């Protein structure tokens, strides 16, 4: 389970979160990178928190406006909360992800 707590708030990452993000925004995975951090990161925060609530079967009691306020109240874009969340998200996407062994792939293709 890929869960982080920032400012006393649980955020979940992983495949379930990505499904929430893609379904909620209507974007495709390859389209995410085309958005700027200032546009994408609040969406990622929202859907990460939404997924955490759903996993815990909690009633959703926040909106995207609340996420924007949370960012603003905690240093804004580039503040410590923003930076910590971005690190947590990036680690969830790239840290401890299995690396494909090229030798095994070549052998399997033969």
What are the tens digits of pLDDT across the range 6-38?
Answer: 999 999 998 999 999 999 999 998 898 888 889
Residue pLDDT, tens place only, 25-82: 999 988 988 888 899 999 999 999 999 999 999 999 999 999 999 999 999 998 999 9
Residue 92 is predicted with a pLDDT of: 84
Q: What is the pTM of this model?
A: 0.82
Q: Give the separation between CA 1 and CA 100, rounded to whole angstroms.
A: 21
User: Which residues, listed in sequence order, are joined to residue 9 by a DSSP beta bridge?
Assistant: 6
CA distances to 12, 99, 103 from 110, in Å: 40, 20, 11
Tokens of 68: 């924007």
Distance CA 5, CA 102 (A): 36
């Amino acid at each position: 389970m890929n869960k982080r707590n920032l400012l006393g708030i649980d955020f979940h990452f992983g495949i379930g979160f990505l499904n929430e993000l893609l379904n909620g925004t209507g974007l495709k995975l390859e389209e995410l990178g085309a958005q700027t951090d200032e546009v994408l990161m609040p969406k990622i925060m929202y859907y990460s928190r939404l997924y955490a609530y759903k996993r815990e079967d909690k009633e959703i009691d926040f909106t995207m406006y609340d996420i924007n306020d949370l960012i603003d109240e905690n240093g804004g874009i580039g503040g410590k909360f923003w930076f910590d969340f971005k690190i947590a998200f990036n680690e969830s996407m790239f840290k401890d992800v299995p690396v494909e062994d090229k030798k095994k792939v070549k052998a399997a293709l033969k």
